[in-house]
């Protein structure tokens, strides 16, 4: 015989108890979730049930890199996972470094504040850059012709032959002629002969040529202005403060409270609402200008690193360097290519270097 | 109906079957219009409010979204609990011998009128429906089949109906073909007007002629693709005989949209099964139920209110509210927890299917017009207790509000504070943790989908020959599409429907095309 209870819907009482049970879960779980989301963590070491924490968010520009926080490996980057968010960090200074085999290591000490996330963008340039050589001449079969083996510290993707003479069978490379226009202004005071003439005349050394043109160009991209003043290069934020990257005026983000975290939690509980207890001033009175590290060398040209307004390329006396604008703790400076007297231009997302004879396209990939 | 002596007192009101505000005048019109505007305003205010809150008070918005995600997880758990219980009950009911169960009752006097409103649906759909009726374990000589055709469907439909009568007429007690005239003033073409015409015809031509009492007649109003299970009428009779007030009750089976489950696309299956699950959940909390789609009700009850409304879209649910309000709240929906099979949306092309699903759900969610009707009549009919009126109104309001807003808030606007919160908010731990916390909560809620996946596999028909077993795997994992279907085929059509009602751009009845792949 079938029981009628098997036919009836769920008893109302059972449903009500289930409902009340879930309501109890809802009410009891919310404060903990709010605290957790705001940055509080359970404190098992004694004083008070909770401790306030902050976080660090590190973006890396390439895959296969290792991110370390306080010397502990926290993430190996891969496609779609090139950033790491570390939460639950104690307020204070934390050391972050990002490294990749055969690449320069990025290191920074970053301040972590309670309830706030400190952001940083790491970059790792290859120790030996890869370049494509563009010379004034090429053979009928398309091979690049250089007057001597280039002594640059780079690997090259170009097939080239060395010849100190220019036989009639060589043809002028139109790409070279076009790119040379980019460097026209910087070469005007340094070279009295054209590069083609130099090659044709058998000049083999190209490292003794120095670009002396003082960089006076102003570059602007995505709200960042690069300009030169009295030999130094500066990055200035010229767009709305709402959009301003985290490192401009970074030092002025500070907590207004002098209470201990426990006092803050207690006060928040009494207020019945765990709100944003941190305060970030919206009317920051600071000049969002950052001087770029040029290593006491003269800068002949500068531009944004392709695809970035956080990194700047500086053509210095000893080579071309990428410098991060972020000056918290220090600025990471990594050589893109070493070599005295290299001039540099960025055109259509490509970096071109010019040593007075040859042009090198630096191949940038991740 | 000119003869309204039989009508219940409240059903005699001129505004009893109001369909939309312009049918009223004066203050009543304003009141009705107020209720029409209310759902759309509430939903839009909520959605826009979340964005505004994200811009001007991102911290508060973030806490609200976290609280909302927790609420969603718990709601999922609560509904899954109901779903699981109903699934067990449904399977149990399918195993039970209802014929034996009703042996202890004297039920030979009961007649079943099965009304099948028919427009231009394919022959195989109707044939399958009548075939299923013919395979019922109930005495077919107590079943009156009414094929309710539409004059506007043309001569072809009439000829087809005649063929059906010739084929099936001798099996049942009667096989009546009714033809709902086109162009009746004040009527909206659709299922309600057709069914009302058919019910009156069957009363005049069969019940009165054969002296069949109205209170001995149960009407099953079935969508044309409804295939009953063999014990449907036995199960119905058991519930009718054991109901505390059988003539003041409607009987609701579980519509399982699985007739063509093996032909339907993945999206269509998810949407169809989600609708089934919602009805299964409702079966466990009958106090919140209204009738939906195919269901049964006594002829007496229908007669006392003049049958279905002929001037609105969602007549399947409205008939319950008509009955409930006309009976001063003394009316129930009794869940049968017994299935009927119906068609999932299938069109010749994938995009055609998507379009049909959207339009079907917009029509269903246009059921928000029932909230308007309830709200209006609850201010009029003081014979229903105030508490009950308030509770029902709030339940309905919450239902229509959450239908539209919850999926959009969870899957789209949950990220609004991050995008609109500004620099100050963006640099906080809360900003970074918000998506993590919400994501983890939603993943937790997805465990409810595991239950859904398992239950759905038990409700699909046997695999036809030629269909790969891999389809089972697809059917198990198809539930990952729920966030998409909830937004695209629940929230958006719901918002569309509420907005139309809010703006006074009233919808007409759209017949869902029935298509079965050969």
Note the pLDDT tens digit of each residue in B460-486: 888 888 888 888 888 888 888 988 999
CA distance A201 to chain B (A): 59
SS3 at position B8: coil
Contacts of B437 in chain A (CB under 8 A): 33, 36-37
Judged against a pLDDT cut of 50, whether residue A208 lies above it is answered with no
What's the pLDDT score for residue A216?
A: 56
Residues 296-335 of B with CB under 8 A from A: 335
d(CA B419, CA B425): 10
SS (H, E, C) chain A: CCCHHHCCCCCHHHHHHHHHHHHHHHHHHHHHHHHHHHCEEECCCCCCCEEECEEEEEEECCCCCEEEECCEEEEECECCECEEEEEEECCEEEEEEEECCCECCEEEEEEECCCEEEEEEECCCECCCEEEEECCEECCCCCEEECCCCCCCCEECCCEEECCCCCCCCEECHHHHHHHHHHHHHHCCCCCCCHHHHHHCCCCCCCCCCCCCCCCCCEEECCEEEEEECCEEEEEECCCHHHCCCCCCHHHCCCCCCCCHHHHHHHHHHHCCCCCCCCCCCCCCCCCEEECCCCCCCEEEEEECCCCCCEEEEEECCEEEEEECCCCCCCCEEEEEECCCCEEEEECCEEEEECCCCEEEEECCC
Residues composing chain A: 366
Contact between residue B361 and residue B29 where contact means Cβ atoms under 8 Å apart: no
Interchain pair B432, A85: CB under 8 A: yes
Judged against a pLDDT cut of 70, whether residue A187 lies above it is answered with no
CA nearest to A85, candidates B439, B419, B443, B429: B429
Pairing of strands A224-229, A232-237: antiparallel
**How sure is the predictor about A248, in pLDDT bands with cuts at 50, 70 and 90?**
confident
CA distance B104 to chain A (A): 12
Total Cβ atoms within 10 A of residue B378: 19
> How much is the CA Rg of chain A, to the nearest whole Å?
29
Contact between residue B234 and residue B352 where contact means Cβ atoms under 8 Å apart: no
SS3 at position B110: coil
**How sure is the predictor about A366, in pLDDT bands with cuts at 50, 70 and 90?**
low
What's the pLDDT score for residue B141?
A: 94
Judged against a pLDDT cut of 90, whether residue A65 lies above it is answered with yes
Judged against a pLDDT cut of 90, whether residue B216 lies above it is answered with yes
SS3 at position B149: strand
d(CA B110, CA B92): 25
d(CA A245, CA A121): 11
**How sure is the predictor about A341, in pLDDT bands with cuts at 50, 70 and 90?**
confident
Interchain pair A36, B285: CB under 8 A: no
Arithmetic mean of pLDDT over chain A: 78
What's the pLDDT score for residue A319?
A: 92
Tokens of A183: 């460097």
Strand-pairing partners, residue B145, are B114, B175
Contact between residue A100 and residue A65 where contact means Cβ atoms under 8 Å apart: yes
Residue predicted with more confidence, A41 or B314 = A41
d(CA B36, CA B503): 9
What integer is the mean pLDDT of A119-145? 84
Total Cβ atoms within 10 A of residue A132: 16
Contact between residue A96 and residue A107 where contact means Cβ atoms under 8 Å apart: yes
What integer is the mean pLDDT of A189-202? 38
* Optimal mutation site among B86, B427, B431, B434, interface A, most CBs of chain A within 10 A: B427
B444 touches chain A (CB under 8 A): no
What's the pLDDT score for residue B460?
A: 87
d(CA A355, CA A340): 8
CA distance B62 to chain A (A): 9
Apex CA B454: angle with CA B448 and CA B457, to 5°? 140
Among B428, B436, B437, whose Cβ lies nearest the Cβ of A276?
A: B428
């Amino acid at each position: 015989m079938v029981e009628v209870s098997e036919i009836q819907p769920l008893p109302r009482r059972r449903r009500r108890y289930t409902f009340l049970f879930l309501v109890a879960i809802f009410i009891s779980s919310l404060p903990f979730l709010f605290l957790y989301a705001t940055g509080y963590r359970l404190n098992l070491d004694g004083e008070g049930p909770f401790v306030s924490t902050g976080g660090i968010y590190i973006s890396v520009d390439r895959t296969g890199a290792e991110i370390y926080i306080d010397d502990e490996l926290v993430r190996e980057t891969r496609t779609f996972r090139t950033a790491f968010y570390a939460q639950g960090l104690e307020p204070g200074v934390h050391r972050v470094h990002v490294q990749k085999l055969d690449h320069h290591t990025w290191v920074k000490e970053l301040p972590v504040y309670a309830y706030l996330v400190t952001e940083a963008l790491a970059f790792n340039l290859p120790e030996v850059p890869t370049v494509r050589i563009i010379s004034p001449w090429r053979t009928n079969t398309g091979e690049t012709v250089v007057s001597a083996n280039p002594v640059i510290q780079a690997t090259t993707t170009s097939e080239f032959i060395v010849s100190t003479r220019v036989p009639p069978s060589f043809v002028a490379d139109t790409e070279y002629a076009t790119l040379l226009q980019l460097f026209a202004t910087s070469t005007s005071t340094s070279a009295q002969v054209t590069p083609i003439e130099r090659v044709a005349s058998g000049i083999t050394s190209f490292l003794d040529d120095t670009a002396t043109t003082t960089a006076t160009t102003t570059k602007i991209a995505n709200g960042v202005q690069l300009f030169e003043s009295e030999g130094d290069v500066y990055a200035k934020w010229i767009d709305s403060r709402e959009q301003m990257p985290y490192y401009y005026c970074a030092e002025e983000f500070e907590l207004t409270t002098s209470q201990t975290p426990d006092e803050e939690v207690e006060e928040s509980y009494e207020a019945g609402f765990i709100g944003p207890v941190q305060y970030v001033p919206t009317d920051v009175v600071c000049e969002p200008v950052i001087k770029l590290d040029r290593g006491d060398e003269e800068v002949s040209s500068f531009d944004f690193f392709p695809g970035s307004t956080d990194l700047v390329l500086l053509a210095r006396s000893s080579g071309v360097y990428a410098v991060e604008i972020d000056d918290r703790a220090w600025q990471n400076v990594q050589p893109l290519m070493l070599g005295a007297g290299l001039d540099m231009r960025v055109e259509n997302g490509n970096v071109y270097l010019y040593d007075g004879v040859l042009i090198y396209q630096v191949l940038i990939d991740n | 109906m000119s003869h309204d002596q039989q009508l219940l007192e409240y059903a005699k009101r001129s505004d009893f079957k109001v369909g939309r505000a312009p049918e009223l005048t004066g203050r009543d019109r304003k009141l009705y219009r107020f209720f029409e505007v209310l759902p759309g305003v509430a939903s839009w205010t909520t959605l826009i409010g979340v964005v505004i809150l994200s811009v001007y008070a991102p911290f508060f918005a973030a806490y609200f979204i976290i609280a909302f995600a927790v609420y969603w997880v718990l709601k999922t758990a609560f509904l899954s609990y109901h779903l699981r219980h109903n699934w067990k009950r449904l399977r149990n009911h399918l195993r039970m011998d209802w014929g034996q169960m009703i042996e202890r009752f004297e039920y030979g006097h009961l007649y079943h009128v099965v009304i099948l409103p028919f427009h231009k649906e394919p022959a195989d759909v109707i044939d399958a429906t009548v075939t299923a009726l013919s395979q019922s374990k109930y005495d077919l000589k107590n079943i009156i089949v009414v094929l309710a055709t539409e004059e506007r469907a043309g001569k072809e439909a009439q000829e087809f109906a005649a063929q059906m009568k010739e084929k099936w007429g001798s099996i049942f007690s009667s096989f009546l073909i009714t033809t709902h005239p086109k162009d009746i003033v004040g009527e909206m073409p659709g299922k309600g007007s057709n069914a009302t015409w058919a019910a009156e015809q069957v009363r005049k031509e069969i019940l009165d002629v054969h002296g069949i009492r109205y209170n001995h007649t149960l009407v099953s109003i079935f969508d044309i693709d409804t295939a009953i299970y063999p014990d449907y009428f036995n199960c119905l009779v058991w519930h009718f005989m054991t109901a505390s007030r059988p003539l003041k009750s409607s009987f609701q089976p579980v519509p399982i949209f699985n007739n063509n489950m093996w032909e339907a696309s993945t999206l269509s299956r998810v949407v169809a099964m989600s609708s089934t699950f919602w009805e299964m959940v409702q079966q466990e909390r009958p106090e919140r139920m209204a009738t939906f789609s195919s269901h049964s009700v006594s002829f007496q009850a229908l007669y006392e209110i003049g049958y279905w409304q002929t001037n609105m879209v969602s007549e399947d649910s409205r008939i319950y509210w008509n009955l409930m309000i006309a009976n001063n709240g003394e009316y129930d929906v009794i869940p049968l927890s017994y299935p009927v099979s119906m068609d999932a949306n299938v069109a010749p092309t994938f995009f055609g299917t998507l379009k049909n699903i959207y339009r079907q759900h917009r029509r269903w969610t246009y059921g928000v017009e029932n909230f308007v009707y309830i709200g209006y009549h609850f201010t009029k009919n003081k014979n229903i207790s105030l508490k009950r009126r308030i509770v029902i109104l709030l339940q309905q309001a919450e239902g229509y509000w959450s239908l539209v807003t919850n999926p959009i808030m969870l899957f789209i606007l949950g990220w609004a504070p991050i995008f609109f919160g500004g620099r100050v908010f963006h640099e906080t731990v809360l900003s970074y943790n918000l998506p993590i916390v919400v994501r983890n909560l939603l993943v937790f809620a997805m465990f409810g989908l595991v239950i859904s996946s398992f239950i759905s596999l038990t409700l699909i028909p046997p695999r036809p020959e030629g269909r790969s077993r891999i389809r089972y795997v697809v059917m198990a994992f198809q539930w990952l599409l729920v966030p998409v279907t909830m937004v695209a085929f629940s929230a958006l059509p719901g918002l569309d429907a509420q907005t139309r009602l809010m703006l006074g751009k009233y919808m007409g009845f759209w017949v869902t095309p029935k298509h079965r792949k050969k």
